[in-house]
Chains A and B, each alone.
Chain A
Amino acid sequence: MPSATFDQQAVPAEWPHRHLLDLERLTAAEVRLLLDTASLFKEATDGCRRKLAVLAGSTIVNLFFENSTRTKTSFALAARRLGADVVDFSASSSSLSKGESFIDTAKNLEAMGVDAVVVRHATPGTPHLLAQHLGVGVINAGDGPHEHPTQGLLDIFSIRERLGHLAGGGRPGDLAGITVGLVGDIAHSRTARSNLWGLVKLGAKVILCGPPTLVSDRWRELGVEVSHDLDAIVPRCDVLNLLRIQFERQNTRPFPSVREYAHLYAMTRERLKRAKKDLLILAPGPINRGVEVTADVADCPQSLILDQVTNGLAVRMGVLWLTCGPRRAGAAERVSAVAARTA
């Protein structure tokens, strides 16, 4: 049955930024708005399985300067669920190989009348530069090791779904009292940075864990706990987010061998035994099984790895709506009409 629960009054029609570039510069209220919007879309689409064509007539461009399978697919699927057209534009097939600057490329796309650009790039800040040069919404789908806001949101969304009721004090849906360990290659992880900002804004306690070559003590200057000892932090965590070692971004290897890294930092069955009973395990994928996490742990019941994929759709629908929807003429009426039709 099509969902009948889409309440147009509840759908935010205001997003002050037009873009979604990072979580660092958002307020806690804005992070909540993004998560709440994702919740609405998840419900309204019956767990992201149905279409809700509120962005019919819109065009979204996937502008990926770096390889991606799951994020690109997730954005494309989210856009189609909302009825938008999706155009893929990858660096290898574009004129970038002919020397055109990325700003020129994006301006060309803008001139073709697109509504939002979803951009992934190996260089931090590239989405921010595009946002300065383009008159359309820009959504950061990962800029080097800087941020990956929709990944951070979907991780937090997944945590909130499972643990939101446990969080003590504060607003409903906040994460006060929850301790989240981000483990692994923090230095090169955009997912870690987006998680860090989002979690801290919602009141969670964050522990960054990994070898000093990948987890700088400087993070402490932000009031975040830093640990180089996974065994010491595992019993204290409600959630562990296991981040991939990004071999491709490293100049020199930051640890002697993969074997030694796994010995010190892989989440194993042994370590799981010392954890809280209902510890949640997240991994943003793709995971290196046997490096960050052993296969049995990755597939254990506490693993949210597949929830994350579904929730990624909900978050991206919410983000696409906020960055494109409210600006379209008659958007509110369209939501209302669609809601009525699907009722």
Chain B
Amino acid sequence: MATLLIRGGRVIDPAQGIDRVDDVLVRDGLIVSVGHAGGQPLGRADETIDAAGLVVAPGLIDMHVHLREPGREEDETIETGTRAALAGGFTSVACIPNTEPPIDTQAAVEFIHQKAARADTCNVFVVACVSRGREGKELAEIGQLVEAGAVAFSDDGAPVYDAELMRRAFEYCRMFDKPVLAHEEVLELSRGGVMHEGLVSLVLGLTGMPAAAEEVLIGRDIALSEVTGGRLHAMHVSTAGGVALIREAKRRGVRVTAEACPHHFTLTDECLRGFDSNFKMSPPLRTAADVEAIVAGLVDGTIDCIATDHAPHAREKKMLELDRAPFGILGLETAVGLAVTRLIVPGRLGWPRLVEAMSTLPARILGLNRGTLRGGAAADITLIDPNLSWRVDVREFRSKSVNSPFDGWTLQGRAVATIVGGRVKYRLGG
């Protein structure tokens, strides 16, 4: 019986309402307890970690990660992407199926699971396609994909454009209680766009992607979710209007959840003034007012969780003219630092809410028996130094790509140990 004792950290588990300095005991890959519950002698363990001064949280879960494998291994692989996840403090990721080929068959789901098992890094949960071939024409074999282990469905990278197909997806997924993760973008409105449509795009002469492109489709999908009872999860919400729509829908009791990305609560469209393609992503960086609305949405729970939309692109692909460079930004290795720096340090979010947004709620949305330190749960635990100030250096990234505009930034807060199934899989400097 292998035991691990994490001593004296600030243990935060929103699922149990815990926020206190205490110990956590792990045995055989499962949580035994927080504190002395069950009369366990906590003093004798095979391994002890001193967590004084650290936050001890249920393992962080990023429910929106592009691992690129199969098909674009030059950008990222399941191994490199999950190593990046561990370094960022994530014990689980959900990978998005816009690969080549797309993940729309049991065999493809199985491939991901096997590759992840071979990498032996963090947990990888598979999001499978809503539509066969991600073509937006007919439903993928959702029931069989659920049997293979798919935890949610998404055609992300693109919206499900056909409103009737989206309606069917909501109805059909309801019988498995799986959410549809929706990329909300009216393509005609954002066509040719490289950045948010606003004063900055006007001045720079760059084609804009209006906020309405996101808001119109969020509105449609809320209506479809409401009429079907299906579960909508709005991905990477970036606009104040989108937040308002979701807030209102939740108030009415619509089954909608939402995520926001660290770059959308950190950066604005002003960043594009340097024409650096590392600031090009979809949805684009919006205005300061949108950033404030995203933060407010995180504070009041309209935005349930933080997900990175980790989107690696090989260096040569980003070294192109702004309109030819692909959309996407790395997220895994800077998410904790950005969340602490942008949300905790200024006092916008408390630690329990941040842990909820990065662990408890992603687990709940995806139906995972994780995101908690309850006895019997998988021993996925992240240790965070909330005061550690560090400089982002893309050369140290585990990710295969370096498309992060945060290179050189100084951030506060960093995962110092990532424990998956009771095993320490990452240690800062280790």
- Bound CA span A71–B322, Å: 23
Would you call A147 an interface residue if the criterion is a C-beta within 8 Å of the partner chain's C-beta atoms?
Answer: yes
- Bound CA span A169–B319, Å: 48
Interface size grouping (class) on chain B: 10 to 19
Q: A-facing mask of B311-324, CB < 8 A → 1, else 0?
A: 00000100111111
Q: Is the CB of A124 within 8 A of B199?
A: no
Chain B residues numbered 191-242 whose CB sits less than 8 Å from any CB in chain A = 191-192, 198-199, 202-206
- Bound CA span A107–B346, Å: 44
Q: A-facing mask of B267-306, CB < 8 A → 1, else 0?
A: 0000000110000000000000000000000000000000
Chain A residue at minimal CB-CB distance from B316: A101
Q: Is the CB of B199 within 8 A of A126?
A: no
Q: Is the CB of A123 within 8 A of B323?
A: yes
Partner of B321 from A121, A218, A221, A222 at Cβ < 8 Å: A121
Stretch at the interface among A80-88, A138-146, A307-315: A138-146
Chain A residue at minimal CB-CB distance from B317: A101
| B205, B206, B274: residue with the most chain A Cβ atoms closer than 10 Å | B205
Partner of B322 from A24, A125, A251 at Cβ < 8 Å: A125
Q: B-facing mask of A124-153, CB < 8 A → 1, else 0?
A: 111011000000000000011111000000
Would you call A190 an interface residue if the criterion is a C-beta within 8 Å of the partner chain's C-beta atoms?
Answer: yes
Q: Is the CB of A124 within 8 A of B320?
A: no
Q: Is the CB of A145 within 8 A of B205?
A: yes
- Bound CA span A24–B191, Å: 27
| B191, B198, B323: residue with the most chain A Cβ atoms closer than 10 Å | B323
Residues in A with CB closer than 8 Å to B274 are 128
- Given A218-B198, A221-B199, A251-B192: A126 in contact with B321 (beta carbons within 8 A): yes
Residues in A with CB closer than 8 Å to B324 are 123
- Bound CA span A146–B201, Å: 9
Q: A-facing mask of B166-208, CB < 8 A → 1, else 0?
A: 0000000000000000000000000110000011001111100
Q: Is the CB of A218 within 8 A of B205?
A: no
Would you call A261 an interface residue if the criterion is a C-beta within 8 Å of the partner chain's C-beta atoms?
Answer: no
- Bound CA span A101–B316, Å: 8
Residues in B with CB closer than 8 Å to A222 are 199, 203
Would you call A272 an interface residue if the criterion is a C-beta within 8 Å of the partner chain's C-beta atoms?
Answer: no
Chain B residue at minimal CB-CB distance from A133: B319
Q: Is the CB of B204 within 8 A of A251?
A: no
Q: Is the CB of B199 within 8 A of A193?
A: no
Q: Is the CB of B321 within 8 A of A190?
A: no
- Bound CA span A221–B323, Å: 26
- Given A251-B191, A251-B192: A124 in contact with B204 (beta carbons within 8 A): yes
Chain B residue at minimal CB-CB distance from A220: B199
- Bound CA span A125–B320, Å: 11
Would you call A287 an interface residue if the criterion is a C-beta within 8 Å of the partner chain's C-beta atoms?
Answer: no
Closest Cβ of chain B to A264, distance in Å, is 22
Residues in A with CB closer than 8 Å to B198 are 218
Q: Is the CB of A124 within 8 A of B319?
A: no
- Bound CA span A143–B316, Å: 22
Interface size grouping (class) on chain A: 20 to 34
- Bound CA span A129–B321, Å: 8
Residues in B with CB closer than 8 Å to A221 are 199
Would you call A219 an interface residue if the criterion is a C-beta within 8 Å of the partner chain's C-beta atoms?
Answer: yes
Q: B-facing mask of A216-252, CB < 8 A → 1, else 0?
A: 1011011000000000000000000000000000010
Partner of B205 from A103, A129, A144 at Cβ < 8 Å: A144
Closest Cβ of chain B to A34, distance in Å, is 20
- Bound CA span A193–B324, Å: 23
Residues in A with CB closer than 8 Å to B322 are 123-126
Partner of B204 from A101, A102, A146, A218 at Cβ < 8 Å: A146
- Bound CA span A145–B57, Å: 50
Q: Is the CB of B202 within 8 A of A216?
A: yes
Q: Is the CB of A102 within 8 A of B321?
A: yes
Chain B residue at minimal CB-CB distance from A128: B275
Q: Is the CB of A218 within 8 A of B316?
A: no
- Bound CA span A126–B205, Å: 12
- Bound CA span A15–B424, Å: 58
- Bound CA span A144–B206, Å: 8
Closest Cβ of chain A to B10, distance in Å, is 44
- Bound CA span A143–B321, Å: 11
Closest Cβ of chain A to B279, distance in Å, is 11
Partner of A193 from B205, B275, B319, B321 at Cβ < 8 Å: B205
Residues in A with CB closer than 8 Å to B191 are 251
Residues in A with CB closer than 8 Å to B320 are 101-102
| B191, B192, B203, B274: residue with the most chain A Cβ atoms closer than 10 Å | B203
- Bound CA span A188–B204, Å: 11
Chain B residue at minimal CB-CB distance from A25: B273
Closest Cβ of chain A to B271, distance in Å, is 12
- Given A143-B205, A147-B205, A193-B205: A125 in contact with B275 (beta carbons within 8 A): yes
Residues in B with CB closer than 8 Å to A124 are 204-206, 275, 322
Please name the 6 residue pairs, one residue from A and one from B, whose CB atoms are nearest each other, closest first: A125-B275, A145-B205, A146-B205, A123-B321, A124-B205, A123-B323
Report 30 cross-chain contacts, Cβ distance below 8 Å, ordered by A residue: A24-B203, A101-B319, A102-B320, A102-B321, A121-B321, A122-B323, A123-B321, A123-B323, A123-B324, A124-B206, A124-B275, A124-B322, A125-B204, A125-B321, A125-B322, A126-B275, A126-B322, A128-B274, A128-B275, A129-B321, A144-B206, A146-B204, A146-B205, A147-B205, A193-B205, A216-B202, A218-B198, A219-B202, A222-B199, A251-B192
Q: Please name 19 further chain A to chain B contacts, defined as beta carbons within 8 Å, in addition to the given A190-B205, A193-B203, sorted by A numbering.
A: A101-B319, A101-B320, A123-B321, A124-B275, A124-B322, A126-B275, A126-B321, A129-B275, A143-B205, A144-B205, A145-B205, A145-B206, A146-B204, A146-B205, A188-B205, A193-B205, A218-B202, A222-B199, A222-B203
